[in-house]
Chains A and B, each alone.
Chain A
Amino acid sequence: MNGNQQTKSVCMDAAEIERSLMRIAHQILEANHGAKNIALVGIVTRGDILARMLVEKIEEIEGVKVPFGHLDISFYRDDFATYLSPEVLSTNIPFDVDGKDIILVDDILYTGRTIRSALDALMDIGRPATVQLAVLIDRGHRELPIRADFVGKNVPSSREESVRLFLEEVDGRSEVDIMQVAAGGHVGSAPLGGGN
């Protein structure tokens, strides 16, 4: 574990995450009048796992398995630091984006830059009918005019804090932690693999 960060509090536990996802799934179906034209695209580092979980819940509710894929936005970052994951996780969108209502899925919405990159990437892949955004946590501090359509929980935070989602299948536990970052430490989206 990275010595930079210490957990201050847990703002969502496993059961709360589960309930939020179920509600978001219902909301997506309501806003889009069913599952007919939707597709989910999860943003890599945990947004993709959430997307898959939402697809499962939509199937439970509506009996339809909607198409989904994952998006790696490294090539579209605006900071160009080579933020590589040790694993090779490239973009995989195994369906035609053109004309679809795409639900982007991410874990934490913070400055909005990740979503801006994701929009650029999506536009280079095809021409969706609409793009909607579902996030588990909105922690505020937007730096760009970006907003989420579906939110699990609003969690106010300060800039010295880091908000991180841990999921059972990759981290061994499911919870959202608010963590204290030491001065000079990195705040923002984490690399895959849980190196910190």
Chain B
Amino acid sequence: MSFNHKHLIDITEYSADDIMQILETAQRFRSVNERRIKKIPTLKGFTVVNMFNEPSTRTRSSFEIAEKRLSCDSLNFGGSSTSTVKGESLVDTVETLCAYKIDMIIVRDKHAGVPRKIADVSGAHVIDAGDGKHQHPTQALLDLYSIWQAKGDLNGLKVGIVGDIGHSRVCGSLIPALKIMGCEVTVIAPPTLMPARPEVLGADHVTCKIEEALPELDVVYMLRIQRERLEGAPYPSLREYNMLFGLTQERERMMKRDAIICHPGPINRGVELDSFMADHPERSVILDQVYAGILTRMAALYLLLGGSEDGITA
């Protein structure tokens, strides 16, 4: 089976088979991550640049671990001490990197569209680790993996996403990815947090009433609420947000018996999620999602760097 992708920038470019291949490959990396020597020589000698122009500890460290366990050489590039502070343009920075003869750039940037630009300018493989409010494909993949592991076949699964749908790159990838895999997607948020056209992302149902949606859902995916300055905020207080949209202990009784709870992290306990629900022994797969991040990122690196040049003759 060939994997004919050079980049992971836009999840909608991937078919259901492509995604399934990534998930199945990810599963194969479990034994490596659970034994004493957590390393395989598969990608030895590949140079991968982690270009994080927006702060991130979780995603970047997840990628770094994935790279190192595959024996890549990782280079961390970005943050406040970069040459962009000195006024260097994105294009110049990328061309400088390419002069180091690198193989892949994993980029997070606060502006949408940057990964595509980098892909056009450089010859390297590019993974989008989050561009502005646009997409975050590896997050979607690790979410799909976690749901797949917990619930089995993704086709026909009813997934509800609660929170800041309109300003979330997590949603920008997750909703299309769920649709590609045949899920039915409900988005739940106050109108102030909805995008203008949720159906363009692929949402099947739109509602502001979490209690009406909960009884139908197999997966409840909670997005993080930004605890920004409340001036200009899309909701009056964290208290009211929790009251109207929080996954509270009281609302658990409305959930299907085997419904699971996901969250991309970091959690705001008591805001979008009660502690009880975040730590729910049967329902919460939040910590599994973190592990899934390592596995799916290893799979993405392996498939992108391994096979796409010469393709495969199976």
Contact = CB atoms under 8 A, between A and B. Distances in A.
Interface residues of B, number: 26
Contact of A88 (B27, B32, B42, B310): B27
B1 A86 contact: yes
Contacts of A80: 42-43, 306
Contacts of A120: 41
Contacts of A74: 42
**What is the predominant secondary structure among interface residues of chain A facing chain B?**
loop
Contacts of A81: 306-307, 310, 312
A90 B35 contact: no
A121 B40 CA distance: 8
Interface in B292-314: 302-303, 306-307, 310, 312-314
A91 interface: yes
Contacts of A90: 27-28, 30-31
Contact of A124 (B1, B39, B310): B39
A183 interface: no
A124 B27 CA distance: 19
Contacts of B35: 124-125
B37 A76 contact: no
Interface string A166-196: 0000000000000000000010000100010
Interface in B22-73: 24-25, 27-28, 30-32, 35-37, 39-43
Contacts of A125: 35, 37
A88 B27 CA distance: 8
B230 to A, nearest CB: 48
Contacts of B37: 124-125
Contact of A82 (B24, B28, B32, B307): B307
Interface in A106-156: 120-121, 124-126
A82 B40 contact: no
Contact of B42 (A76, A86, A92, A191): A76
B14 interface: no
A84 B25 contact: yes
Contact of A83 (B30, B40, B312): B312
A75 B32 CA distance: 10
Nearest to B309: A81
Residue among B25, B42, B313 with most chain A CB within 10 A: B313
A124 B40 contact: yes
Nearest to B42: A75
B77 interface: no
Contacts of B241: none
Nearest to B310: A81
A18 interface: no
A75 B307 contact: no
Contact of B40 (A75, A126, A186, A195): A75
A192 to B, nearest CB: 10
A45 to B, nearest CB: 13
B27 A82 contact: no
A84 B32 CA distance: 17
A56 interface: no
A183 to B, nearest CB: 15
Contacts of A82: 3, 302-303, 306-307, 312
A91 B306 CA distance: 19
A86 B312 CA distance: 12
Interface string B261-300: 0000000000000000000000000000000000000000
Nearest to B37: A124
Interface in A83-106: 83-84, 86, 88, 90-92
Contacts of B27: 88, 90
Residue among A75, A90, A92, A191 with most chain B CB within 10 A: A75
A72 interface: yes
Contacts of A195: 314
Given A124-B40, A125-B35, A125-B37, A88 B306 contact: no
A126 to B, nearest CB: 8
A82 B24 CA distance: 14
A74 B32 CA distance: 12
Contacts of B306: 80-82
17 contacts: A75-B41, A76-B42, A80-B42, A82-B302, A82-B303, A82-B306, A83-B312, A84-B1, A84-B3, A84-B25, A84-B312, A90-B28, A124-B35, A124-B40, A125-B35, A125-B37, A126-B36
